[in-house]
Copies of this chain bind each other. A is one copy, B any other.
Amino acid sequence: MNDARKKAVVLLSGGLDSATVLAAARADGFDCYALCFAYGQRHAIEVEAARRVAERIGEVELRVIRIDLRTFGGSALTDDIDVPHNHDVESSKIPITYVPARNTIFLSYALAWAEVLGAADIFIGVNAVDYSGYPDCRPAFIDAFETMANLATRAGADGVKLTLHAPLIDLTKAQIIQLGVKLGVDYSVTHSCYDPDGQGRACGRCDACRLRAAGFSQAGQPDPTRYQRLEAT
């Protein structure tokens, strides 16, 4: 690490959480390299949101990796299965929107880029509320990935400690929004909905929309989300 400023790779989906994490990494003094994944047609709108977020925060190098998780199928986010609405977010069952090994794959690419850049820090925006049954959002998963990453890479072999940061992991959605507002995040350019319409407007009914709307409400902040239906706000 000869650079004066430390480099960090930040997973950026264009959603509320990852936008907050990118702002937090910048505030911590890191030069940020944002990594966004295009997987399945349904989420093209997420890539556009990621570009807007990176531009709005500024001085961020964004790479978009196109991967085809539909090769394996198995999830409503990549297959042509209907996204369920009004799913019980308090349920401990893993929702159908879970994508097999998604965070593992995303973090593996982040690890590759970090090694090439000479970055010893990776940021991911998982949190306890988003967990709601997603195994790869648990603190134990983050710890295990970090351990594995330090054995996997040349950096680890050379004695450089790689750190996987999940700064939102213990925060509620409201606390994440309060943090982001403090850091100046413009949430109007972020996208969270699993089932947007052609104009990118949120459905207001899927898990992601409900958690997001409740977060703005509990944070006492105006919700800048564009919704398809007034009654869902």
Residues in chain A within 8 A of chain B (CB atoms)? 63, 65, 67-69, 71-74, 94, 98-105, 107-109, 111-113, 115-116, 135-136, 138, 140-141, 144-145, 147-149, 151-154, 156-157
Contacts and interface: CB of A to CB of B under 8 A. Distances in A.
Given A105-B108, A135-B154, A145-B148, A100 B115 contact: yes
B94 A152 contact: no
A138 B112 contact: no
Contacts of A74: 112, 115-116
Contact of A94 (B135, B136, B149, B157): B157
Contact of A153 (B101, B149, B156): B101
Given A147-B147, A153-B100, A71 B63 contact: yes
Q: Which 3 A-B pairs have the closest CB atoms?
A: A74-B116, A101-B112, A144-B148
Given A65-B71, A108-B108, A135-B157, A152 B147 contact: no
The secondary-structure label for the interface of chain A is helix
Nearest to A141: B151
Contact of A156 (B65, B72, B112, B135): B135
Contact of A111 (B73, B104, B147, B154): B104
Nearest to A116: B74
A74 B148 CA distance: 20
A157 B134 CA distance: 9
Nearest to A106: B108
Contact of A151 (B69, B105, B107, B135): B135
A67 B112 CA distance: 13
A73 B108 contact: no
A103 B152 CA distance: 8
Contacts of A65: 68, 71
A146 to B, nearest CB: 9
Given A101-B111, A111-B100, A148 B148 contact: yes
B72 A116 contact: yes
B113 A72 contact: yes
A108 B115 contact: no
Nearest to A75: B116
